[in-house]
Structure formats: structure tokens, C-alpha cells
Structure 1
Amino acid sequence: MSYSGEFLLHLTQKCKKLQKQMKQIHSLIITNGHLHQHQNVPSSSLSLPWMPTLLYNALISAYHIHNHNKALSIFTHMLANQAPPNSHTFPPLLKISPLPLGATLHSQTLKRGLLSDGFILTTLLALYARNHLLPHARMVFEEFPMFCIVACNAMINAFSMNGDMEAAVALFERMPRRDVFSWTTVVDGFALKGNFGASIRFFRNMMNHKDVVAGLVKPNEATCSSVLSSCANLDGKAALDWGKQVHGYVVMNEVKLGVFVGTSLIHLYGKMGCLSNAENVFRVMVVREVCTWNAMISSLASHGREKNALDMFDRMKLHGLKPNSITFAAVLTACARGNLVREGLDLFRSMWYDFGIEPNLKHYGCVIDLLGRAGHIEEAAEIIRNMPFQPDASVLGAFLGACRIHGAIELGEEIGKNMLRLQTQHSGQYVLLSSMNAEKERWDRAANLRREIMEAGIQKIPAYSMLHLT
């Protein structure tokens, strides 16, 4: 059966997110000869001479979602068959291309006179930004035909991705007009850099700005989620108060309580110990993803409600959601804190056998903590000996702490010293081993460990105090 190019183009656009159907449509396009209409075909049979370019663009746009190599291969065929690329061809390719190929595509756009297209310029700018080439991103920014809000937002995002928040704010302040994306990009940029206080302060400036007061700009789900995450990463009543104010704004202004805002609220309230607030948010959420359940499980596990955390884990599975590595870190933490040894070991085994998740160092640390708290020091030591990678400071700390509590000094020293020979900079673990020997009045061994610290040139990190000023 023969299909027109228009019909197949419509199908491609409708089904581009469906991988299996796209392969079938691609086959139909090839067998109906629509990608080669311009070659050796009588002009009377060409209903739309530009149809090959449209079909190639549609295929590239579809395949770039789920098969990057296929999208690039189709572009190669497009050039080989002399179908001329246009401004719609390059943006999806630039989004998926590694830097060398992206630079080649940049040359192609220049050669074909397409660099005046704002969409191409924006994706080029993003290409250089994600590859940490700010000078190249700046040069692309200067190619924009006008100082428009889209170009400025893209450049602010480039600065933010690369940690240059001074330049991001400077450009933001030069903009004659800003939208919600301008504000959100800066708020999120400070958060990405770890400057959570600055993120909250910039959001506060946003809420007091005349455009927001007048209703010309309104914080959206991304804005609220970003500032809530910043609040959760700070300690103290001020951060919690700001989080509650953002929550109030979400409720009063009917901002969508989607997955990101809801999960950020649960994380904030859970970290601050406001479990009833976290549970209320979880209860009213219409859509919950795995990250939402993870936040709730972690909140319960961190505040003495280990059984509830495991019940939540079971509920999550009943809802048809597949746990990920973060889920298992949360439930294993709950088992360790609740002294639920059998349940924890069963969960650890089920990670790979039932869900195909390879345990990482965090999971091993939780199991060591679980066994150590319960006094199963030998079992914990055996796991450390057979781990597929070297334990880090958290694993050693959990194990040595358990040895200290349960008086297993010799075993702690055996495992600890073997590991510390490979990781000489863990000064805290050296000090812990030394203190364990000193408590048992084994002064010579304690002194030897202190001497090893000095001879290795290891510096103890000095303690410090910090105040949050508002």
C-alpha cells in the first residue's frame, strides 16, 4: 500500500515518543521512497519537493529522544541524499551531540547561513555551556541579532551552570525585562553552587519586586521547588520559616503542587523534624513519583519511625513503583536505626536478586552500621573484607564506632589499620583507633598510632562553630 508523504509526516509527529511505532513508520517512509523523491524521479510525481527535508527533520526529532546514534545516522543520510537541512534540522542534533561533533554542526549552520535563527543560537549556547566553554558561549550570545529575553536567559543559565554567579547577576540586572525563567535561573544557580542563603535572598528580592507585586511575573513550580530545596539545605528556624512561607504561597496562589514542589516540601519538613507537615503534603499530592516516596521514607527513618518507613516502602511497591538505589539507602538506614537486622539483610539481598540494583558504597555502609549497632562485629568485618571496592571514611567510621561500643578492639585495629594503609588521609579514623586503645589503657599502641599520624603529615581538621544571621 502506498502512503503520501504528508500522511507519513503526520504519523511521525504524532508517534515520535513511541520507539516501536517510530521504527515501523521509518520503514514505511523508506519503502514508499519519500526520502529520495528529488533523485531521478519525474517532476510530475513530486507533489511536495521539500517533503524529504520535512521527513528527515521529523525522523531526527523523533529519534533524538530515545536513540541518539540513529538520529545522527539519519542526518548523515540526509546529507548524502542531498536533502537540504534547514533551521529545524540542527537544534535536536545539537542537544545530543558531544563537543567535537557539536562544533562541526556549528560550522554546518554557519555554512548554510542559519546562524541568524534564535533557536539554533540558543541550542549552540547550551552546547558550549554544558561543556564548560563559557568563552564560546559568550561568542554565540553576541551573535544574537537583538538583546532579547530568550538570549539573556540562555546566557544566565550558562553562567549559572558554570558557577559564575557574579556574571549571571550582572547580566540579569542589565535586562530591560525579566520573566519567571530569568528569576528562577538565578535562584537555581545559587543553589547549584551551594550558596543556599543567596538563593533564598534572591527569591525574597523576587517576591518584593514590582513585577511580582503587580502580577506580571509569578513564581512557578520550578521556582518554588528550587527555593524549597535551598531551605532544606540550611539549618535553623529562619530556613524553616521561609519554607513555610513558600508553602503558603503555593496554597494561596494555586501553584501546582506537582512532584517537584511536593517532594521538596516533604524533604524540607522531614529534615526539620516536622513529620506531620510532611505527611500532610504527601497525603494531598495527586501524583507521586519514586522520589516522593523516597523523601517520605527517609523522613520517617530519620526521626525514629523505622517501622513506618518500612510500611511506606511496602505501600510504594503496591502502587506499582520500582524502588531505586536511593530508596534502598533510606530503608537500610531505617533498619540500622531500628535494629531490624533480619529485615535489613533481606532488603540488602533483594536489591540485586529482585530489582537488579547493584549495591554501592552507601548501601554497604548502611549494612555495616546495621550489623555494628546490633553487635554483629564479625559479620560486619567479613562484609568489609569481601566488599568489591575499598571502604570510605563513613564505612570505616561506622565499623570502628561499633568496635569501640562493643569492645572489639583487636578486630577494629586489624580492619582499620589495613584500610588506613590504603587511605592515609582519614585522620579521624586514626584518632578513633588511638582513642579506642587509650580507653583500654594500651598506651603504647595509642602512642604508635598518634606517631603514624604525625609521620604521614596528616593534619587534623580543626573544629569550628557557625551561626546563621538573618
Structure 2
Amino acid sequence: MAVTFCSSFAFEHNLSCLQKCPTEVELKQIHARMLKSGLLQDPYAMTKFLSFCLSSSFSSYAHDVFFNGFDRPDTFLWNLMIRGLSCSDQPDRSLLLYHRMLCCSAPHNAYTFPFLLKACSNLSAFQETTQIHAHITKFGYGHDIYAVNSLINSYAVTGNFKHAHLLFDRIQEPDAVSWNSVIKGYVKAGEMDMALTLFRKMPEKNNAISWTTMISGYVQAGMNKEALQLFHEMQNSNVPPDNVSLASALSACSQLGALEQGKWIHSYANKTRTRIDSVLCCVLIDMYAKCGEMEEALGVFKNMKTKSVQVWTALISGYAYHGLGREAISKFLEMQNMGVKPNAITFTAVLTACSYTGLVEEGKSVFNTIERDYNLKPTIEHYGCMVDLLGRAGLLNEANRFIQKMPLKPNAVIWGSLLKACQIHKNIELGEKIGEILIEMDSNHGGRYVHMANIHAMGKKWDKAAETRRLMREQGVVKVPGCSAISLEGTTHEFLAGDRSHAEIQEIRTKWRFVRRKLEENGYVPELEDMLLDLVDDEEKEAIVHQHSEKLAITYGLMKTKPGTTIRIMKNLRVCKDCHKVMNLISKIYKRDIVMRDRTRFHHFKDGKCSCGDYW
């Protein structure tokens, strides 16, 4: 009895030490004590030791112990090793281990193949999947549901949907995992119609996994309205959402600017006492920030006890969206004082905030700390932020020199930022040079041609402007149409420029004519500078500018909301000067707060002034 007690005590003591083991030196010391005490002769102790090594950063050490500590390891230990390595940062080692297993004539069982196929999925390895498929058939596991489900998942992950679907169709009684695996494959490929067809055919959807797969897929595909519709259907089906489905639904709210639905989801999470983890906290902050509610975003941030770098970054990004550069820098400094080290995304957020508010010197200072203080290599996004910062501030030549000295090859986004800055600050010569580079580099982007044509038009080079437009037509490139959305009572209404599709379009146009008269009574004159080439005739230009999508959306908001209600609009492109001017005037005339999110940032219009200070 005494020996058993000592062995048990020694095992528990060594297991406790393992959980706190930070380095390989200490791991070796524990290993030595276990060898000396004979604990490693106990299969349970050996399993725990190897499992710890594989789940930590000591998988190579586990590999060495496995081959040097056993003469003939049994199938369970082989599977343990294959499983651990398949989940490591080098999943290919599990496939090499399987080859060794074959060479040693070690017996398989039904659990060997799902672990190997997990490695194939992590590696997106199609050829290896087909080889393991052959082994599954050869060794008689072709009808094992676990092996077949793993095969379906692996084929789907590697993009071979025909193989996945064929296997699925051959299963006489597919279980929930079978359905989810094939649906997940189509979702990953963005084939949402096929995924939805399978989802509808699925006999039982009583857990969150299949719902979450579909909702997340819709969000990734940019089908945010469909994601929220399915989330509400999930609620009506009495399937409790998990953290992933909540996060996905909140992301959809962020993109749509659906504040009320986002608030409802937040309230639901609180009522059901859902644990607000780091991921959910980040999407909540992002949702409130992108819906124009920074105070709510800050409240979520303050309620999070343990704040990860991702949580800090989400808040800093929120301040950047809103053009609150000083606040973003303040939180950036506070984060560092709290001992949280910024990552590459954090620096992108801070530099973006500096760019949107013209904090040139502060931005330069932050950029210089990336490598000097944090030993991080600046990414192409960081260089892009710096070019945007300099360009917006009118430092075009400095921005151009900065690009020339970059250690990375500048991409179309970087050149595009400088081209837009050249248009804003009317540097025709530099703009023409950059435009030529961009059109050659990014010939399928309609905005490149439009900016280039407008640069030519600024210099009254009408032939070149027309030639650029002709080239755009010949290439079959079209400009992305302006689209604005407004969410009212849980429904998102979308408007395109010149839209005639809305059910109430006649009433909207009548209301706009009334609004326009009020604007003109208050000194409004259309800004046509952003329409240099759309039409030569100013009268026709004016007719078009009055049909911009954000004007339709704000008019609908005035029609459908009570006086004094804040109106929130989402725009897919950068707001033009005329629409910005109109929003300012409407906020003053109608005494309305207007929150508009354009392609990159927020504008808060109140009493005839915008939060951006006309710097956007």
C-alpha cells in the first residue's frame, strides 16, 4: 500500500509540475524524475506526459521520447502521436509518422485515419487525402462513419467538392457531422446557394454548429442581410446561438450599420449570461464603433476585465473610424503603460487614425517605433498608411519619395492613395505619372480610370480624359455604383445612385424636391468639382448629383423617422463634396444628428458642422 501511495503521490506531483513547465530544460528534469521513479512504465503516466508535450510547444521532444522510450508502441500511442502532431504547427510530421507506422507494421484502428485526415485538412493536401482514402478502403474502414466524415471534410477543405459530395451521397444514414462537413465545404468556397440547399435538406438542425456555419459563411461572402435573416430563423427554431454565431451576427450588423439589431444581440448575450470572451468583446466594440456609437463601444471595453491586445486594437480602430486621432493615440499609449504589447494590426489602426486627422508628426513618430522599439518589420499596410497620411496632408512629393525608398514593392492601394491625393490637391503632373503606373498595374479597377480621367480634366486635357474613358470601356471595366443603406425598424433599405427600384421612390423624389428648395433658401449651390468628366453640361451634372444614393437615403430617413431622431447612413464609396455639404446643411435646417459611414470613416453631422472638420 505504501508503494502505491508513493507512486500515486509522485505521479500527481510530477503532473502538477508539468502543467507549470515553461522551458525544455525543466521538462527534461521532470522526464528524468519520472524515469528514475519508474513512472514511465505506467501507460497512463506516459500518455499524460506525451499529451502534455504535444499540446504545448514540445512536440519535437515528444517525438524523440516516443521513438526512444518504447520497443513496440501500441496502436493507442501511435494514434496519440499522430493526433498531437496533426494539431501542431507542423501537421506534415503526422503524415511522416504514419509512414513510419506502416514501415513498422503497426496495426491500425478506426481512429487512426480521422487524425491523419485532420492533418491533410490543415495542410489543404489533396494528393495525401486521396492516398489515405485508398488506405481507408484497403484496410476495410470504407463504411466507418468517422473515417468517411473526415474524408468529406478533407476533400471539402481542399476544394474538391465533387469528391466530398459523392462520398456524402453514398452514406446511407449521414449524421450531423456528415451534413456539416459537406455544407462547410461549400461555404468555404462561397457556394452559398448550394450550401443553403443542403442546409434546408438537413433533417435535424437542433444544435448551433450547422446554423453557425451558414451564418458565418454569409458574413464572409458579404451577404450580411441573409446572415441576419438566418440568425433570426435560428432564434425562432429555439436553437441557442453559441459565441461564434453571436460574433458572426454582430459582424453582419457592423457591415449593415444595423445598430438596433446589434444592441438586441448584445442584450441577449447579457440576459443569457453568455461569457463575453476576447473575440465577442472585439466584435461588440467593432459593431458599436461601425454603427457610430463610440460611447457604447467604450462601455464594452471598460467592462472587459482582462483586455487582450485584440481588444485594445478594436477600440483604437473604432477611434480611427471616427476621426478621433488624439483619442486613438491616447489609448495606444495607455495600452503600452498597462504592459500590453501592440501587434502589427494595432500599428495599422493608430496610423490610420493619424491619417484621418492630419496628425503627420505623430504618425511619423509611431511608424518609427514599429521596428526600433518592438522589433517588428513594417508591413505593406503600414507603408500604405504613411503614404495616405502624407498625401492627405498635401505632402505629395514627400509621399512619392517615401514610396521610392520603401523596402517593399508598392501595391495598387499605395499608388491609389497617392493618386487620390493628387486629385484632391490638384497636382496634375504627378497625378498623371501615377495614373499611368496604376492603370498598368490594376487595369480591372474602374476607380483608377475615373481618377486618371479627372486628373486630365483638371488640366483641361480633354482629349486625354476622353481617351482614358474610352480605354476603360474597351477593357470592359465599370465603375462601382454608389450605394447607401439606412436601417429602420430592423429592415435595411438600400439605394443606388439614380435608383428607381424602391417601392416608395416617387414619394422619396417628391420629398427630395422639397428638401432641395429648403437647402437653396439657405444658400446651397451644388458642388460639381467631383464630376469633372461625368457630363460636360453643368445642368445635366446637377441633375445627376441630386440623385446620389446618400441623398435618397437621407430623404427616406427624414420621411420615416420622428423629428429629432438621429439618422444613420452607410455608404460603400467615399462621400462626395456635394453630399457632404448637403448633410451639413440638413443637420442644421432640420436639427438632426446625421451619422454617415463612408468607405473608410465616419462623419458626424450636427448643427451644420461635421466631425471630420472637412478633412476626409
TM-score with structure 1 length normalisation?
A: 0.85
Q: Does 2:146 align with 1:119?
A: yes
User: Compared with structure 1, are the counterparts of its residues 399 and 163 closer, same or farther at alpha carbon in structure 2 (3 Å cutoff)?
Assistant: closer
Match of 1:53 in 2: 75
Asked whether the equivalents of residues 387 and 417 of structure 2 are also in contact (C-alpha less than 8 Å), the reply is yes
1:296 to 298, 302, 315: 315
Letter in 1 for 2:479: I
Spell out, residue by residue over 1:70-106, the C-alpha distance to the aligned partner (whole angstroms, 9 max, x if none): 2222211111111112222222221122110111111
Match of 1:200 in 2: 228
Match of 2:590 in 1: none
Q: Does 2:213 align with 1:185?
A: yes
Spell out, residue by residue over 1:281-306, the C-alpha distance to the aligned partner (whole angstroms, 9 max, x if none): 11112343333222211101111321
Match of 2:465 in 1: 449
Q: The residue matched to 1:469 in structure 2 has which SS?
A: strand
Q: Does 2:235 align with 1:225?
A: no
Letter in 2 for 1:200: L
Match of 2:48 in 1: 10
Spell out, residue by residue over 1:435-465, the C-alpha distance to the aligned partner (whole angstroms, 9 max, x if none): 44544xx42x343233244256355526444
Alignment partners' CA distance in 1, 2:373 and 2:388: 23
Gaps of 5+ in 2: 1-34, 486-491, 495-616
Q: The residue matched to 2:54 in structure 1 has which SS?
A: coil
Asked whether the equivalents of residues 433 and 449 of structure 1 are also in contact (C-alpha less than 8 Å), the reply is yes
Q: The residue matched to 1:403 in structure 2 has which SS?
A: helix
Alignment partners' CA distance in 1, 2:450 and 2:66: 70
Which structure carries more strand by proportion? Answer: 2
Q: Which moved more, 1:256-265 or 1:361-370?
A: 361-370
User: Compared with structure 1, are the counterparts of its residues 159 and 316 closer, same or farther at alpha carbon in structure 2 (3 Å cutoff)?
Assistant: same
Match of 2:479 in 1: 461
Q: Does 2:121 align with 1:83?
A: no
User: Compared with structure 1, are the counterparts of its residues 78 and 227 closer, same or farther at alpha carbon in structure 2 (3 Å cutoff)?
Assistant: same
Letter in 2 for 1:226: S
Asked whether the equivalents of residues 390 and 396 of structure 2 are also in contact (C-alpha less than 8 Å), the reply is yes
Matches within 5 A, 1:26-45: 26-32=63-69, 34=70, 36-37=71-72
Considering only aligned residues, what root-mean-square deviation do their CA atoms show, in Å? 2.6
Q: The residue matched to 1:146 in structure 2 has which SS?
A: coil
Q: Does 2:415 align with 1:396?
A: yes
User: Compared with structure 1, are the counterparts of its residues 262 and 109 closer, same or farther at alpha carbon in structure 2 (3 Å cutoff)?
Assistant: same
User: Compared with structure 1, are the counterparts of its residues 421 and 277 closer, same or farther at alpha carbon in structure 2 (3 Å cutoff)?
Assistant: same
Using CA pairs under 8 Å that are at least 6 residues apart, name the structure with larger relative contact order, 1 or 2: 2
Alignment partners' CA distance in 1, 2:147 and 2:376: 39
Gaps of 5+ in 1: 38-50
User: Compared with structure 1, are the counterparts of its residues 429 and 70 closer, same or farther at alpha carbon in structure 2 (3 Å cutoff)?
Assistant: closer
Spell out, residue by residue over 1:209-256, the C-alpha distance to the aligned partner (whole angstroms, 9 max, x if none): 2xx1xxxx3111111111111111113xxx211111111100111112
Spell out, residue by residue over 1:295-341, the C-alpha distance to the aligned partner (whole angstroms, 9 max, x if none): 21110111132122122223333444443332222111111122222
Spell out, residue by residue over 1:29-62, the C-alpha distance to the aligned partner (whole angstroms, 9 max, x if none): 4333x2x33xxxxxxxxxxxxx522222122222
Displacement of 1:138 after TM fit?
1.5
Asked whether the equivalents of residues 106 and 124 of structure 1 are also in contact (C-alpha less than 8 Å), the reply is yes
Q: Does 2:340 align with 1:324?
A: no
Letter in 2 for 1:190: Y
Query: Quick one: percent identity of the two aligned structures?
Result: 30
Match of 2:165 in 1: 138
User: Compared with structure 1, are the counterparts of its residues 437 and 190 closer, same or farther at alpha carbon in structure 2 (3 Å cutoff)?
Assistant: closer
Displacement of 1:433 after TM fit?
4.4
Asked whether the equivalents of residues 396 and 429 of structure 1 are also in contact (C-alpha less than 8 Å), the reply is no
1:268 to 266, 287, 309: 287
Alignment partners' CA distance in 2, 1:258 and 1:462: 38
Alignment partners' CA distance in 2, 1:465 and 1:59: 53
Displacement of 1:133 after TM fit?
1.3
Q: The residue matched to 2:74 in structure 1 has which SS?
A: helix
Match of 1:71 in 2: 94
Spell out, residue by residue over 1:6-44, the C-alpha distance to the aligned partner (whole angstroms, 9 max, x if none): 132232124321233x44444344333x2x33xxxxxxx
Alignment partners' CA distance in 2, 1:262 and 1:376: 38
User: Compared with structure 1, are the counterparts of its residues 244 and 81 closer, same or farther at alpha carbon in structure 2 (3 Å cutoff)?
Assistant: same
Alignment partners' CA distance in 1, 2:85 and 2:219: 33
User: Compared with structure 1, are the counterparts of its residues 24 and 274 closer, same or farther at alpha carbon in structure 2 (3 Å cutoff)?
Assistant: same
User: Compared with structure 1, are the counterparts of its residues 403 and 273 closer, same or farther at alpha carbon in structure 2 (3 Å cutoff)?
Assistant: same
Alignment partners' CA distance in 2, 1:30 and 1:460: 62
Displacement of 1:145 after TM fit?
5.1
